[in-house]
Amino acid sequence: MNREVKINLLFPSKKNNHQPKTSVKQDSRLNSENSQLRSSEKGTIPAVKKVRHPQTKPLKKSSVPKRRKLREGLTPPSKGRACMPRQTKKQRQLNLFPKITIPTPVAFLSRLTILTVGISTILGSAISMTNSFNTNPTVKKPTSSITQTITETKLSQLKNLFSVISVGQEIVPLQKQLQILTDRYPQLEPGILIADIESKDYVNLGGTDTFAAASTIKIPILVAFFQDVDAGKINLNQPFTITKESIADGSGYMQYQPIGTKFSALKIASSMITVSDNTATNILIEHLGGKKALNQRFADWGLTTTQISDRLPDKQGTNTTSPEDLSNLLLKIDRGELVSLASRDRILAIMKQTERNTLLPQGLGKDAAIAHKTGTLLSVLGDTGIIYTPNGKRYIASVLVKRPDNDPQAESLIQEISRTAYQHFKQKPPQSSEAFQKPRPFLAE
């Protein structure tokens, strides 16, 4: 047996020609065994362990030429070359394998930081812009009552942007004439606002001053009544009842009717204007929600001084208004801004039937027309209306005069103011080409 091992070690068979190279440890072990065999030839042969060499299958030679292998990327790349496979000509044309550069961790973190900062800046700007629309960061948030007051004030200011004074220009020649006229009555304190409906040009002599409204307060009440008619809250044929609380002395005939007497809503509203019935006025105030609700409506319309503080007849003059408020209200009525056109026509038709014609109508020509409402107290006399001249010109005149107790000179002053204004406007043709819809004929009950 030992002899066979020796022969195999010294003369390996041809089958082992393709064995892979042995390692350093295997070579040393083989050398030691060979030395033992040599020594055994001289003497005793020691026991030699049989060494089994690893048997591996020989690699088959590839039939692919080396140059083709390199071209098609079948051989591993040499040192120093890129690890990407070699592209064929077709791949290079189609650019199927674009070069991909992977950033280093430091570059990746830098880019991520820049992206985060950019997104944070955009979000912060968007949030600050949103907050600027809702609140003012430099001002403490007001209480609910203050907020409501500010809102109402801004709303009133916006609505007054379209008042006759803010839109038009002063009519200087007419204003000088009226100033000379009023200087003749030093004991009286007039407030005058006259405005051209088409051009909005105006004359303002104390027109923004506050006066006792007297019965001119009934015009805004009439407008509120027809607003509820338009809204379907009131029917013109709906019966209104005279109550004990509504009866008032002064002008009007309804105060003499028995309690419980019923009149149609339209009859009540018409009597409030045509004969200035105080009882009818109190009935409407009750049906329209009371003084507080009406005052809120007046403010919503942009009237700054018009308020109801007491039931009619208000002999103390606590209900207030101004020539400017009355003129602005008539302008809104004429335009149909507060009520429907049908209700506007009814309002103007009722105002044309006002029975007292001793103030503004006395200064008008024969063919002129006027839709107006007067007001009389011992301390105040006034008249306000829309005047229609024969040449088609339309203008608004509102005159309130503070006077010593029942001074008749106030009536004369209002008549002369009306006459002077009429002479000015009747010479001027209408400047606006806008068609005006004349009120349809309407007879109050």
- Asked if 192 and 178 touch (Cβ cutoff 8 Å), the reply is yes
Residue 287 has pLDDT above 90, yes or no: yes
pLDDT for the residue 131: 58
- Asked if 193 and 164 touch (Cβ cutoff 8 Å), the reply is yes
Confidence at 371, pLDDT banded by 50, 70, 90: very high
Q: What percent of the chain has pLDDT over 90?
A: 57
- Asked if 204 and 179 touch (Cβ cutoff 8 Å), the reply is no
Confidence at 166, pLDDT banded by 50, 70, 90: low
Confidence at 418, pLDDT banded by 50, 70, 90: very high
Mean pLDDT of the 200-207 span: 95
Residue 90 has pLDDT above 70, yes or no: no
pLDDT for the residue 384: 99
Q: How many CA atoms lie within 13 A of 167 on its CB side?
A: 17
More confident residue, 155 or 130: 130
Residue 31 has pLDDT above 80, yes or no: no
Confidence at 396, pLDDT banded by 50, 70, 90: very high
pLDDT for the residue 356: 96
More confident residue, 108 or 259: 259
Among left, alpha and beta (phi > 0; psi -120 to 50; other), residue 317 is: left
Q: What whole-number distance in Å separates Cα of residue 368 and Cα of residue 358? A: 15
pLDDT for the residue 123: 76
Tokens of 125: 């700007």
Residue 124 has pLDDT above 80, yes or no: no
- Asked if 241 and 261 touch (Cβ cutoff 8 Å), the reply is yes
Q: How many CB atoms lie within 10 A of CB 228?
A: 17
Confidence at 143, pLDDT banded by 50, 70, 90: very low
pLDDT for the residue 116: 80
Residue 142 has pLDDT above 90, yes or no: no
Mean pLDDT of the 389-406 span: 95
Tell me the average pLDDT of the chain.
79
Q: What is the pTM of this model?
A: 0.63
pLDDT for the residue 87: 58
Q: What whole-number distance in Å separates Cα of residue 252 and Cα of residue 267? A: 13
CB within 8 Å of 283: residues ≥ 6 apart: 240, 241, 242, 243, 246, 254, 268
98-102, 109-113, 230-234, 281-285: the lowest-pLDDT one: 98-102
pLDDT, one tens digit per residue, over 312-349 is 999 999 999 999 999 999 999 999 999 999 999 999 99
Is 171-235+293-426 assigned to CATH 3.40.710.10?
Answer: yes
- Asked if 346 and 368 touch (Cβ cutoff 8 Å), the reply is no
More confident residue, 108 or 393: 393
Confidence at 119, pLDDT banded by 50, 70, 90: confident
Q: How many CB atoms lie within 10 A of CB 157?
A: 12
- Asked if 339 and 230 touch (Cβ cutoff 8 Å), the reply is yes
- Asked if 329 and 219 touch (Cβ cutoff 8 Å), the reply is yes
